[in-house]
Structure 1
């Protein structure tokens, strides 16, 4: 190894120390030469998925616990369930509304966010999503029918509180959303069916043939009309 001259700094050039054995601590560097510990890439990528599943299972468990508590409350402390216009029929209302508009609707809405559905065929998950949303709508409608029937049997006015109006508005908006979704899916299915039975090449040829027929018919008719007019004008001039 070459000796450093008196004018050269002790640790300034690579001639004094090779790069592989350079002691940064001796040169006054603030960074340490020890390699930094890094987490594995797989574990780093799995962390958001694990956190999501943890919160999802927590929310799902709270939803199930809410339904169980409402059922126990109405069955043990409010006399049970019936469909005879009595107060027991009213007990169906909180159970069905909580189950439909809170638990089933919430799970159907978050279904596409589950990492299990990523990178897979979306058709089964779309069908499950539609089934959960339809079930939530049916449960909410039956819950409203229970409370309206109870009010009519007891000669109680309907829609006499803010709670009633908010519930009706939420159910109506939910039904309108389901209707628009179904119409949109029907339209998409129709477009896909039309594209399947009429490939792009066939559609272009059909449009060209129709355009040619229309223009040829129109030109023929126009030529005949112009000939009639010309003959008529010549006859009048003679």
Structure 2
């Protein structure tokens, strides 16, 4: 009887998770659509180094796709795909991280070119947005390297892997929080530079940018809730203990 009650409660909890996870995906897709609209309707579309001011537009688009949307989904891959084998989840987690890193490199290249190729050149790494963004990228790269050699292709003993796991989780969430903060600061910075005093009149572009910012914040808050709520944890499979510790308990 007690086992049946526990199973029912677990089923209801997972149903709640699925609803919130679906809401998260809807918010994320809406965010990406609005970002595309901003880039193509108000910022002039996409180009590369032949038009450095337009080349900049790759930066907010790819950073939003990578360091916000994909980053949030990579954090939740174990809970969202909880019935998959642990090895498959590890590969998916690492692969998404690798994709994010590639997008971040292209985005950083785009903003660097857009600064140095214009006349007169624009200074790099002077704003709070750039500082926090750099911190987020450094945390992200360290997370990927440490996670790769700790869990996917481990080179450290099983006991140390188990002890390292809470730090891996914490700094993953910290990096995501930093990337969210950098995205919000970057949106505000770009809009102020582009609109100037017109921003205070709240034209249609300002409304769209503010909506993008609200969606980023909502998306991040929901990711953190789903990732930290202990009721939504993935139920470990027997093989999980073997993969983490190297032996069956």
Task: Report the number of matched residues.
Answer: 151
1:80 aligns with 2:45: yes
Mind listing any 5+ residue stretches in structure 1 that lack a counterpart? 1-39, 193-238
Alignment of 1:31-50 (within 5 A): 41=5, 43-50=8-15
Q: 1:12 — aligned with what? A: none
Task: Work out which of the two has the higher radius of gyration on C-alpha atoms and give 1 or 2.
Answer: 1
Note if contact 2:150-2:156 (Cα within 8 Å) is conserved in structure 1. Answer: no
Is the contact made by 1:141 and 1:171 (CA closer than 8 Å) also made in structure 2? no
The alignment yields a C-alpha RMSD, in angstroms, of: 2.2
In the alignment, what sits opposite 2:109?
Answer: 145
- State the secondary structure of the residue aligned to 1:124: helix
Structure 2 residue aligned with 1:131: 95
CA-to-aligned-CA distance 1:158-178 (integer Å, 9 cap, x gap) = 012110111111111111111
Alpha-carbon offset, residue 88 of structure 1: 0.9
Larger RCO: Structure 1 or Structure 2 (Cα < 8 Å, ≥ 6 residues apart)? 2
Instruction: Decide which of 6, 31, 35 is 1:70's aligned counterpart.
Output: 35
Q: Does 1:106 align with 2:83?
A: no
**Structure with the higher fraction of residues in helix conformation:** 2
Over 3 Å counting, the alpha-carbon distance change for 1:171 and 1:190 in structure 2 is closer
* Partner-residue secondary structure (3-state), 1:123: helix
Q: Which runs of 5+ in 2 are unaligned?
A: 159-249
TM-score w.r.t. the length of structure 2 is 0.56
Residue deviations 1:123-173, cap 9 Å, x none? 111111111111111111211111011101021110121101111111111
Query: What is the CA distance between 1:184 and its match in structure 2?
Result: 2.1
Query: 1:190 offset after TM fit, Å?
Result: 8.6
- CA distance in 2 between partners of 1:163 and 1:151 (Å): 15
TM-score, reference length from structure 1? 0.58
In the aligned structure 1, how far is the partner of 2:146 from the partner of 2:156? 15
2:235: which partner in 1? none
Structural mapping, 1:1-238, within 5 Å: 41=5, 43-84=8-49, 85-114=51-80, 116-118=81-83, 120-154=84-118, 155-185=121-151, 188=154
